[in-house]
C-alpha cells in the first residue's frame, strides 16, 4: 500500500489553515495527493462552523481588541476558539480506505480512538464520547468533525495542550453558559499533567497512534506543486469578508 503523507505546516493564520482544508480535500479527490495526516497549529482565532453567523457566535469587539482572528471552516458544527496551545489534526483520505469504516458513526469512533491512544502515550486516560468528543471525566479535551467531497473526506479535530479557557469564554458568545455550574467543560493537558507537553511530543504520539491503528507508515512530505498553486489562488477568498461574514445561513456540506 502507498504510504500516507505526514504534513506538518506549523503555525499559520486562520485563513491559511481554513484554505488548506479545502485544498487538501480537493487534491485528494483529484488524486493529486496521497491520503494525508495534516498537523497544524494556530494563531489565536475563532473558527465558525460553515453555516454559522459571526454576529450570533462571536464577541467581535473582544476579538479585535486582542488580535484574535475570525474565520470559518468548510465543515459544520459549532464555533470554537483556538490558540498557540491548541494542536489541530486532520485526516484527508479516500472513502473505503482500509482501516477506516465507511459508516460515519463507526468512522468517528475509530478515528477518535486514535486520539485516545495518543493521549494514553502521554499519560492521560481519556475516552471516546459519541458522537465526536474525546473526554476525561466528562470534560472535553478534543472535539472533532468533518465533511466530504465526492469520494474523499476530511475528518479533523483539535487537542487542547495548554488552553486559556477564560479567553475562550470572552471571545465566544455561546460557550458562556457551558462554562457555568461546576466549571468549564473543557480541560487541557497542562491542567491534567501539571505541565504542558511539547507540541513535538504531542505530534509524535498522535502520528504514531494513527499509524498503529491504521496499519500504515507515514512519509513526511510538503505540499505538492498543484496544492501550492491552489493555495495561492484561494487564500484571498478565505481571508475575505465574503467568506467570513456570510449573510445567508446555509447548512454545512454533508
User: What was the pLDDT predicted at 174?
Assistant: 59
For the chain, strand residue ranges (E) read 4-12, 36-42, 45-48, 69-72, 80-82, 86-94, 127-129, 133-136, 139-149, 152-160, 218-220
Domain assignment present for residue 248? The answer is no
Domain assignment present for residue 130? The answer is yes
Domain assignment present for residue 238? The answer is no
User: Which residue has cell 465533511?
Assistant: 147
Contact 165, 179 (CB under 8 A): yes
Domain assignment present for residue 31? The answer is yes
Average pLDDT over residues 93-107: 92
Contact 18, 71 (CB under 8 A): yes
Contact 253, 34 (CB under 8 A): no
User: What was the pLDDT predicted at 2?
Assistant: 58
What span, in angstroms and rounded, lies between the C-alpha atoms of 239 and 19?
9
The model's pLDDT over 171-217, given as tens digits with 9 standing for 90+, comes to: 999 544 444 444 458 999 999 999 999 999 999 999 999 999 999 99
Residue 162 vs residues 99, 130, 216, 227: alpha-carbon distances, Å: 31, 24, 29, 31
Check which CATH number belongs to the domain holding 66 and give it.
3.30.930.10
- In terms of residues, how long is the chain? 254
Residue 32 vs residues 22, 70, 108, 155, 228: alpha-carbon distances, Å: 13, 30, 25, 19, 12
Domain assignment present for residue 229? The answer is no
Q: 68: which 3 cell numbers?
A: 484574535
Q: Which helix (H) or strand (E) holds 191?
A: helix 189-193
**pLDDT score of 83 more than 80:** yes
Domain assignment present for residue 245? The answer is no
Residue 178 vs residues 36, 44, 160, 172: alpha-carbon distances, Å: 34, 20, 17, 11
What span, in angstroms and rounded, lies between the C-alpha atoms of 69 and 15?
9
What span, in angstroms and rounded, lies between the C-alpha atoms of 138 and 171?
23
Q: 107: which 3 cell numbers?
A: 468512522
What span, in angstroms and rounded, lies between the C-alpha atoms of 155 and 146?
4
Domain assignment present for residue 154? The answer is yes
Residue 98 vs residues 21, 68, 151, 203: alpha-carbon distances, Å: 22, 39, 14, 23
Tell me which residue range forms the domain holding 58: 4-224
Q: Are strands 218-220 and 80-82 parallel, antiparallel or unpaired?
A: unpaired
Number of domains comprising the chain? 1
Q: 40: which 3 cell numbers?
A: 497544524
Domain assignment present for residue 247? The answer is no
The model's pLDDT over 138-159, given as tens digits with 9 standing for 90+, comes to: 999 999 999 999 999 999 999 9
In whole angstroms, what separates CA 60 from the centre of its chain?
A: 22
The model's pLDDT over 6-28, given as tens digits with 9 standing for 90+, comes to: 999 999 999 999 999 999 999 99
Q: b/e for 187-225, b at 16 or more Cβ within 10 A?
A: bbbebbeeebbebeebbbbbbebbbebbebebeeeebee
The model's pLDDT over 33-75, given as tens digits with 9 standing for 90+, comes to: 999 999 999 999 999 999 999 999 999 999 999 999 999 999 9
Amino acid at each position: 500500500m502507498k504510504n500516507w503523507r505526514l504534513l506538518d505546516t506549523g503555525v499559520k493564520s486562520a485563513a491559511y489553515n481554513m484554505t488548506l482544508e479545502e485544498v487538501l480535500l480537493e487534491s485528494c479527490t483529484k488524486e493529486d495527493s496521497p491520503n494525508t495526516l495534516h498537523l497544524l497549529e494556530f494563531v489565536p482565532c475563532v473558527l465558525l462552523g460553515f453555516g454559522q453567523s459571526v454576529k450570533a457566535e462571536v464577541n467581535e469587539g473582544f476579538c479585535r481588541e486582542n488580535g484574535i482572528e475570525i474565520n470559518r471552516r468548510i465543515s459544520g458544527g459549532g464555533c470554537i476558539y483556538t490558540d498557540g496551545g491548541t494542536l489541530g489534526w486532520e485526516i484527508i483520505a479516500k472513502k473505503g480506505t482500509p482501516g477506516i469504516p465507511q459508516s460515519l458513526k463507526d468512522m468517528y469512533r475509530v478515528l477518535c480512538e486514535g486520539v485516545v491512544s495518543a493521549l494514553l502515550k502521554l499519560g492521560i486516560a481519556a475516552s471516546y464520547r459519541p458522537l465526536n468528543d474525546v473526554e476525561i471525566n466528562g470534560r472535553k479535551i478534543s472535539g472533532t468533525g468533518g465533511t466530504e467531497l465526492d469520494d474523499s473526506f476530511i475528518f479533523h479535530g483539535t487537542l487542547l495542550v495548554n488552553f486559556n479557557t477564560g479567553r475562550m469564554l470572552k471571545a465566544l458568545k455561546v460557550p458562556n453558559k457551558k462554562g457555568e455550574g461546576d466549571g468549564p467543560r473543557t480541560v487541557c493537558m497542562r491542567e491534567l499533567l501539571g505541565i504542558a507537553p511539547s507540541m513535538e511530543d504531542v505530534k509524535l504520539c498522535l502520528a504514531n497512534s494513527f499509524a498503529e491503528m491504521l496499519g500504515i507508515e507515514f512519509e513526511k512530505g510538503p505540499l505538492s506543486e498543484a496544492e501550492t498553486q491552489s493555495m495561492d489562488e484561494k487564500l484571498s477568498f478565505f481571508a475575505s469578508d465574503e467568506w467570513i461574514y456570510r449573510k445567508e445561513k446555509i447548512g454545512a456540506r454533508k
